[in-house]
Each structure stands twice: as C-alpha cells, then as structure tokens.
Chain A
Amino acid sequence: MLRTIDATAKRNLTSHMPFVPHTQDDEASMLNAIGVADIETLFDEIPAELRSGRLLGVPAGISEMAMLRLMAERSAADSSGISFIGAGAYEHHIPSVVWDVASRGEFLTAYTPYQAEASQGTLQLIYEYQTMMSRLTGMEVANASVYDGASALAEAMLMGVRANKKSKSRRILCAGNIHPHYLKTCRTIVTNQQIEIDTVDWSEEYGTLSSSLWREREDQDYAALVVSYPNFFGGLDDVGKLTDWAHDQNMLLIAVVNPMALGILRAPAEWGQAGADIVVGEGQPFGIPVASGGPYLGYMCCNKAIVRQMPGRIIGRTLDQDGREGFTLTLQAREQHIRRGKATSNICTNQGLLVTAATIYLSLLGDRGLASVATECHNGMLALIDKCRVRLDIHPRFSGPVFHEVAFELPARAADVLAAMADQDVLGGYDLGEFDARLANCMLTNVTETRTEADLDRFVEALAVALKAVGC
C-alpha cells in the first residue's frame, strides 16, 4: 500500500509541480549547461549524513480549490455575531477603495524601495504618509512604520533613552493605565538593554493618573514619561499637565495615541507648553481589519531635533540628476544594513502594505471625514452608556470623559457576564479582571461608527439576559 502511494507521489513530482515552471526539457537542458547529471549533485557539498528524508510531518499537497474550501470552513467557524471588543483593535468601516487599490500587484509584490528609481510609487506614497501622520500629530517627522503599536512604544522607550540630552537615566516612568500588552511587550524588548520601567498607578475614582501619585516620582531622574491617550480605559488623562511636569523633570514625553481620536482630540504637539517629544501608536484604525491582531502598523513621530535617533526607514524628497523631484530612503546611517551593531534598531522589514492602506484611507477621509468618524464613535459610545444607565442601571466604573471606549462596572464577575453574552453571539467587551484584579467586575466596551442604534439595543438586551443568567 505504501509503495503505491510513493509511486503516485513520484509520478506527481514531474507532472504536478505547483508554482515551479520547469518542464522536463528545461530541467535537462539546464543540468546540461551546468554540467551535472541531476539536481541531487548540486547538493553534494552538504555532508550526506545531514540530508533529510521526506517531510512526514507535512501533509500531501492539495489543490487551491480544496485549500480554499478548508479555509472557508475554518473561517466560518470563527464568525460570531457582533463585537464590542476594542482594547487596542477597533473595527471601523473600510472604504472599498482602500484594499482594492492597496492590493494592486505593483504595491503588493514590490520589495523595499532600495532601488529608488524603480520604486518611486512606494517612496512617494510613504512621503505622503509621513506628511499625513506628522500633520495629524502636529509633529515634524514620521517614519515609514514599525510592526505594531506595542513594538512602536518599545522602540520609543529605547529612542527616549538615547535622545534625552538632559538625563543619562536608563529608567522610564510609564502610566499604569496603558494597554497591558504594550507594557509586557516593552518589558520583553527593553530590559535586555538594562532599561527599567516603573509604573504610576491610576486613580480609583477616575482611572486617570492623579497628580498626587505622579508627583511622588518627582526628582527621581527618569529618561521619559509614557502616557496613553486615550488611556486603556478609554478615558482622557490631563496630558497638558503631564507633559509640562515631565519636561520640568527633564524627561521626554512619549505619547501613545489612538490616531483615530486625533480626528477630534488635541494633537500631541500641542500638549502643555512644549508638546510631546515622541508620539507612537497603532495605525490599525486607518483602513486595516482587526484580523486576529495583525498585520497592523506601528506609527512613530517626533521632531527633527531627534530624528537621527528614530528607528526604521524614513523617506526624503530630493532631486535627480536632471533636477526633477524624486523620493529616496534617507538618513540610512541609522539603520542596520549600514550601521550593523551601531544601528538605532535591528528593524528591517516593516509594515509597508499597511502603510499603503492607511495612506489611501486618510486621503479618502480627509479632515472632515476623520472628524466625522471620530465624532460618530464618541457619540455612539455616549449613547450606549446612556442606554445602559437608563435600562439596566449599569454605569461606567470611572467618572470623566471618554473617547469611544468605557469600563462598565457590573454586579458580577465580568468573565461570567461576557461568557453569557457570547452565548447570545454578542462579544460585549474585554474582561478587565485580566488587566487588574481590582477590576474583576468590569468590562471594557468599545463602540465605533460601525455600530447602529439597533446594534446598541442588541448589546443592552444581551447584557440584560446575561446578568439574569449569572444571577443578578
């Protein structure tokens, strides 16, 4: 029986070779040109005892049709009702143009634009992206992306330690109300360089950093202060005061900002007297599906004074030999392929295709569109808070303004309530008990412009049923 399968497989080796275009004649003539009898001979420098047998842990190949059927079944298994989970990944409407154009082969299958003359499309697009992100944040410069919001923050911490001329400290002070996974990612990445991260706890009443807590850290010599806007609970910290305090303490201010919020909220360059020094965050809200967490795009902005400490690729506008305008990678002396061990980061591959999508998204929306979407998200959130208050006597855990996400306080464990909501095909939010045991009865719920009035009512109904189901 085994022999039969092997014989079939052997026949298939020559008659069925997906994505390998060689005919038997091609192979024979190429081997002849090389002067060897068979392909096997080309591997004769590999010690024979190292040659592997067949890959028995990999199944036999299947057709595209069969593969797509399998993937459709698996994907359908994961399609579940309606989601109100945000916590760092937000479902917004994605205009059809975005991926129609971004998926063009000339964007999709191009390499990193090292050969500038043959990559003007990608290079100009990134320059436009850099312009949009710097205008949105008010900063002077943006890079061409890093992996995601969490890794962008880690890079910002490393950059902050390098860029702070007033302090040699290798300690970072970080708001305790940033995304917990961001904090974990940063610890993984920066601690190898003997950089320490301290956190400031959030206020029990507001969920924001209270001045009494942050002032305890006065005169302790940190390289930078990290604040999140909105914070992980969806609330708005007093970023102006925090920025001024950080600068007064000779710290740089690193802002982690949901860029969608900047459609209506204050640009980080305008926080306090002098503005933020480094602005990073998750670009996913700009035309990128939530898609299990990636690929997304980490954005990074700063001012020109410290641009040489920025990691990642940066595009500059220049002239060609005939004086025509063109675009090219610049300041490459920061990067690993030139500076090796002295580079600002080891990053090479970034999130280019997602930058393409985000740039198209921002072009379509413009200022008015972004303000409109951000306002709709905010208003939808307020409407849901109101419905929960009126119909269920359920209230936000913290007082103070929110953008498009809120921590609801429940009369039972959030994990149980969320499970009972999921049974009704409503994913009600993120269990804040996973973030902090003090919030085991809280869920973090997000509303975007994609949620209709009827969706909000469905949320309230599902929550009502769930509360009954858990005995409340």
Chain B
Amino acid sequence: MLIFDHSSKGRGATAQFGPPMEPASDLPAEHLRSSPAGLPEVSELQVVRHFTNLSRRNFSIDTQFYPLGSCTMKYNPRGAHRAASQPGFLNRHPLAPEAQSQGFLACLWELQEYLKDVTGMKAVSLTPMAGAQGEFAGVAMIRAYHQRNGDDGRTEILIPDAAHGTNPATAVMCGFKVREVPVTREGDVDINALRAAVGPQTAGLMMTNPSTCGVFERRIQEIAGVVHEAGGLLYYDGANLNAILGQVKPGDMGFDVLHMNLHKTFATPHGGGGPGSGPVGVGQRLIDFLPTPVVGREPGPRFRWLDEQDIPHTIGRLSAFMGNAGILLRAYAYARLLGRDGMYRVGRYATLNANYMARQLEKKGFTLAYPDRRATHEFIITLAKENRELGVSAMDFAKRLLDYGFHAPTTYFPLLIPECLLIEPTETECREEIDRFIEAMGAILEEARTDPDLVRGSPYTMPVKRLDDVKAARDLDLALIDPRPAP
C-alpha cells in the first residue's frame, strides 16, 4: 500500500501545523497556488506505521551481512552519528559568522590534517559531496593545471577498462575524451599498452589501487613514471581506500590527486543511496586549484574559511555551502574513536577477512578470478563454469543468497570478468558470520547442481519475486497518477 492509499480527506497530523489560515492577501493572484498538490492526508500514527513497515522491507547492515564489493558496507559506529547530531551542530546556520563557528571549523581543520596524513597528500579540501563529485573536482583540477601551463593539447584521460563507471563519466563531464587501457590476465594494468597510449594528448590517468579487480597494482611506481614522463598527472580513485588504510599511502605511490569516500571508509551509513562525502587531496602541483571553501588556521588558534581570495586559482565552489558538513563531522568523530592504531587495523583486518573468505570459497569449489594473487579487501569469483554447465548465472546466485539472509555481493562488475561476484567482507564482520556466508554459498552451489530451477527462480522469501525491469522501462510509471483534489 502506498502512503496515498491511507489518505482520507480531512485527516491530518495536526499537531505539526497551525489552524487553517487565510492566504496572504498581499500576494497577487497570479502568484497563488491554483489547487492543492495532492499530498497524503494521514494521521501521525499512520505515518509512523507506514514508514516503519516500509523500513522492514529492506536489507540493511543492521540486519544482514552485506558483502558488497567496492562499496565497503561496514559497521558505522552510532557514536559518530550521535556526535554529529549535537544540537549546536544541527542548528548552526551554514552562513553563521566565524566567531560562532569555531567548534565546527576546528573539527574540519583537524579532519583535513588527518586525511593528509592518511593519504600522503599535501592539502585536502573537504567540500565535494560524494565520490563522484570528488572525482569531478580532481579531474577539473588536472584540467586547470594543464590550462594554466598553457598545455592546451592535453585532451585525453586514460582509464583502465576495469574502472568504476564514474571514472569515464567524470572525465567526459570535465570535457575530456576517454581512452581505455586494458588490464592483464593477472589483474594489473597492461604497462605496454599504457606506454603506447600515453603522449602529448595525455592529461592524466585515473585508477584505483587496489584495483577494481581486488588486487594490488604491483607496478604502480612504473605506471606513475610512464604517465609523469608523458606530462600527465595521476588520479587516485579512493573507493578502495579501506584496503590500505594505514598500510600504504597514495601520495607515496606517485598519485597527484585523489578523492576519498568518507561514507565508505570513515563511518557514514549509506542511507539507502546516500549521503556520501568525497574530499579531495592533492600533491604540491595542484594546491592552487583546490575547490573552495577550505578551512584555514591562524594563530590563536582561530579557524577561518579560505575562499577564492585565498586560493585564487581554485576550480571554484561545488555546493551552496560546505558540502555534506554533517558527514565530515561523522568522519572526524570516527577518526578520533579509532585513532592511528585503529586506522592501521582497518586495512589489516579487512584484508584478513577477504583473504580468508577467498580461500574458503575456493575450497568449496568456487573459481577465483585471480587465484594466484593475494586478495586485498575484496576479491572476485567467477561463475562462468557454473553458468555454462549448470545454467545458473551469477545473478541467480545473488538472488538465492537473499533467501539465505545475505545481501548479494556486487554482480557483473568489473565487466571484464564473466559471471562475476565482487565480494568485500570489511573488517567489522566476525569469523562466524563469514563462515555462515561461505556455508550458504556452498549450499547454493549444491542446489545449482541438483535443482538449478530452484536457484533460477529465486528469491522466494522477499516481499516480491524478480521484477519485470523491461516493463518498468517501457511502461514508465514514475509517479502515482490519481484524480487530483478539485480546486
């Protein structure tokens, strides 16, 4: 039932608003609303019950293991959530004077410092509102850098063909052409192909490390050398930062600019799609181009906003105010809870869990995409053989896992591995939970052998069975069309 189906004319949650009022007489008639919009008319209890029941039709980290590769669905401490929900933070207007903002600014300044250390970069701007906006800021800075050097011929961004879809989309949004670089069978960037691809047209290379193949790019220094020699800059997609937190720094690998996904690595729950936060870090060459605002510190200490007057070559603003400020406070609180040793452990136990899971699944008969490599914080299995021999696809495995009470891993990504599942357990899952997942995978494999239709028809225990996506796209029903209330 939709919330609109609970609606009855004349009902309302009337504790939330005053008695009916005459429309303001000073407003000219042509500016007045002509008829009610048709929002639901429901009681407060109906609202609570409807949305509480909707919430129960979701999987979530609080209720299920979520080994979703590349998404880092780990436990996000409630303490960080509570810290950001202090009344002084919630009620602070974004344009409040700096004198009334020192507590907030102090948190942000310190977070900038921590993130510099974690990534090995020279400066950080916290303002991008998600990973994709961080990518945008990073590539826009690369563009601004070449432009300022009068280097107008650099029109291409190189991207490994296994990259996240946001990478090519970002490059195009920044006005670049995309050239893909193949990845070897071992999961590394094909360095010969890279050498052949670079040239005076190269603006930069975007990559993740560990890569989207769930392995560490071993020749990263050589790659950096090739790109830098050609005059390009190196962009680090921080989607997989959880894997290397405290172990290795992108700045040391040779990257010039990066974004971090604070909602993956630094304690913001995913909220059914967002919000996120995608701060950018830069090496020396790009400091002048950072997006504004940035937080500066003066003696006292007194914290203040740095804007275009302070960073004259900035690529500019990315949001109306200060990005997803509340997410930054959560990240700060999380950093304080973990401290340096806690951060060091994140990468280590995320890696331990993934390697354990990979080996145990292999023992169950699953095929690892890169059996001779160490897993990083995630790894890939390919179900190409099962699909060929049993007619059970990666999607079927994913759907059947839902019946076993596990969220499915990422399916069909990266695109170059057929019938793949990208699996990321994160450091916050205990061994027993991981073992249960491995048992479930084993049981589904057995079902695929003995009763493949059972797997192909799954899931059975969800509120709905598999949905008709073709119908959804063909007969577009994107909003409830109802007779609207009469004017």
Residues of chain A contacted by B335 (CB below 8 angstroms):
58
Contact of B42 (CB < 8 Å), options: A27, A141, A366: A366
Known A-B contacts A111-B407, A316-B478; the reply to A267 vs B37 at CB < 8 A is yes
Residues of chain A contacted by B359 (CB below 8 angstroms):
33-35
Contact B92 A56 (CB under 8 A): no
Contact A118 B58 (CB under 8 A): yes
Instruction: Kindly specify which of A128-136, A214-222, A390-398 makes contact with the partner chain.
Output: A128-136
Query: Would you call B133 an interface residue if the criterion is a C-beta within 8 Å of the partner chain's C-beta atoms?
Result: yes
Residues of chain B contacted by A335 (CB below 8 angstroms):
165
Residues of chain A contacted by B13 (CB below 8 angstroms):
95, 97, 364-366, 369
> Which residue of A has the minimal Cβ distance to B94?
A293
What 1/0 mask marks residues of chain B from 95 to 139 whose CB sits below 8 Å from any chain A CB?
111011111101100000110111010000000011111011000
What 1/0 mask marks residues of chain B from 454 to 474 whose CB sits below 8 Å from any chain A CB?
000101001111111101110
Query: Would you call B175 an interface residue if the criterion is a C-beta within 8 Å of the partner chain's C-beta atoms?
Result: yes
Residues of chain A contacted by B63 (CB below 8 angstroms):
105-106
Contact of B341 (CB < 8 Å), options: A9, A79, A102, A343: A9
Known A-B contacts A26-B431, A120-B57, A372-B20; the reply to A108 vs B271 at CB < 8 A is yes
11 more contacts with CB within 8 A, not counting A75-B88, A267-B34, A346-B166, are A46-B218, A47-B220, A62-B336, A67-B79, A106-B60, A115-B399, A115-B402, A341-B168, A349-B130, A351-B273, A367-B37
Contact A321 B466 (CB under 8 A): yes
Known A-B contacts A57-B114, A108-B62, A373-B17; the reply to A427 vs B97 at CB < 8 A is yes
> Which residue of B has the minimal Cβ distance to A357?
B271
Distance in angstroms from B124 CB to nearest chain A CB is 11
Chain B contact residues (Cβ within 8 angstroms of A): what range? 35 or more
Contact A27 B275 (CB under 8 A): no
What 1/0 mask marks residues of chain A from 225 to 247 whose CB sits below 8 Å from any chain B CB?
00000000000100010000000
Contact A117 B462 (CB under 8 A): yes
Contact B345 A347 (CB under 8 A): no
Q: List 19 A-B contacts (CB under 8 A).
A: A12-B341, A39-B348, A46-B218, A72-B86, A78-B101, A97-B47, A100-B48, A107-B272, A117-B462, A119-B58, A120-B57, A130-B479, A145-B274, A184-B317, A266-B31, A295-B324, A320-B466, A345-B169, A363-B47
Query: Would you call A411 an interface residue if the criterion is a C-beta within 8 Å of the partner chain's C-beta atoms?
Result: no
Interface centre among B55, B327, B343 (most CB of A within 10 A): B55
What CA separation (Å) do A115 and B68 show in the bound complex?
11
8 A Cβ contacts from A28-80 to B:
29-31, 33-36, 39, 42-47, 50-52, 54-64, 67-68, 70-80
Known A-B contacts A70-B336, A132-B39; the reply to A122 vs B104 at CB < 8 A is no
Instruction: Kindly specify which of B190-198, B228-236, B247-255, B386-394 makes contact with the partner chain.
Output: B247-255
Query: Would you call A187 an interface residue if the criterion is a C-beta within 8 Å of the partner chain's C-beta atoms?
Result: yes
> Which residue of A has the minimal Cβ distance to B35?
A267
8 A Cβ contacts from A98-157 to B:
100-113, 115-122, 124-128, 130-132, 134-136, 138, 140-142, 144-145, 147-151
Contact B130 A59 (CB under 8 A): no
Known A-B contacts A58-B117, A291-B325; the reply to A375 vs B24 at CB < 8 A is yes
Instruction: Kindly specify which of A13-21, A160-168, A198-206 makes contact with the partner chain.
Output: A13-21
Contact B478 A307 (CB under 8 A): yes
Contact of A330 (CB < 8 Å), options: B79, B476, B479: B476
Query: Would you call A339 an interface residue if the criterion is a C-beta within 8 Å of the partner chain's C-beta atoms?
Result: yes
Residues of chain B contacted by A367 (CB below 8 angstroms):
36-39, 41, 485
Contact of B320 (CB < 8 Å), options: A77, A88, A192, A325: A88
Residues of chain A contacted by B344 (CB below 8 angstroms):
54-55
Distance in angstroms from A349 CB to nearest chain B CB is 4
Contact A141 B47 (CB under 8 A): no
Distance in angstroms from A61 CB to nearest chain B CB is 3
Residues of chain B contacted by A56 (CB below 8 angstroms):
117, 340
Query: Would you call B423 an interface residue if the criterion is a C-beta within 8 Å of the partner chain's C-beta atoms?
Result: no
Query: Would you call B417 an interface residue if the criterion is a C-beta within 8 Å of the partner chain's C-beta atoms?
Result: no
Contact B47 A121 (CB under 8 A): no
What 1/0 mask marks residues of chain B from 284 to 302 whose CB sits below 8 Å from any chain A CB?
0000000100000000000
Contact of A19 (CB < 8 Å), options: B77, B166, B247: B77
Query: Would you call B338 an interface residue if the criterion is a C-beta within 8 Å of the partner chain's C-beta atoms?
Result: yes
Chain A contact residues (Cβ within 8 angstroms of B): what range? 35 or more
What CA separation (Å) do A326 and B106 show in the bound complex?
47
Residues of chain A contacted by B319 (CB below 8 angstroms):
147-148, 150-151, 181, 185, 293-294
Contact of B269 (CB < 8 Å), options: A108, A262, A330: A108
What CA separation (Å) do A149 and B218 show in the bound complex?
42
Distance in angstroms from A135 CB to nearest chain B CB is 4
Query: Would you call A177 an interface residue if the criterion is a C-beta within 8 Å of the partner chain's C-beta atoms?
Result: no
Contact A316 B476 (CB under 8 A): yes
> Which residue of B has the minimal Cβ distance to A362?
B39
> Which residue of A has the minimal Cβ distance to B61?
A109
Contact B326 A78 (CB under 8 A): no
List 9 A-B pairs, minimum CB-CB distance, nearest first. A293-B321, A61-B339, A57-B117, A352-B273, A353-B271, A105-B62, A75-B88, A74-B103, A293-B94
Contact of B32 (CB < 8 Å), options: A87, A264, A327: A264
Contact of A46 (CB < 8 Å), options: B99, B136, B248: B248
Query: Would you call A169 an interface residue if the criterion is a C-beta within 8 Å of the partner chain's C-beta atoms?
Result: no
What CA separation (Å) do A131 and B73 show in the bound complex?
30
Query: Would you call A406 an interface residue if the criterion is a C-beta within 8 Å of the partner chain's C-beta atoms?
Result: no
Residues of chain B contacted by A142 (CB below 8 angstroms):
478-479
Query: Would you call B89 an interface residue if the criterion is a C-beta within 8 Å of the partner chain's C-beta atoms?
Result: yes
What CA separation (Å) do A346 and B164 show in the bound complex?
10
Contact A75 B87 (CB under 8 A): yes
What CA separation (Å) do A78 and B469 show in the bound complex?
49
> Which residue of A has the minimal Cβ distance to B75?
A19
Residues of chain B contacted by A265 (CB below 8 angstroms):
27, 31-33
Residues of chain B contacted by A119 (CB below 8 angstroms):
57-59, 272
Contact of B34 (CB < 8 Å), options: A131, A270, A359: A270
Contact A58 B62 (CB under 8 A): no
Known A-B contacts A75-B89, A185-B320, A364-B13; the reply to A401 vs B117 at CB < 8 A is no
What CA separation (Å) do A27 and B430 show in the bound complex?
10
Contact of B4 (CB < 8 Å), options: A89, A131, A291, A318: A131
Contact of B468 (CB < 8 Å), options: A68, A187, A320: A320
Query: Would you call A304 an interface residue if the criterion is a C-beta within 8 Å of the partner chain's C-beta atoms?
Result: yes
Contact B129 A294 (CB under 8 A): yes
Residues of chain A contacted by B486 (CB below 8 angstroms):
none
What CA separation (Å) do A60 and B342 show in the bound complex?
8
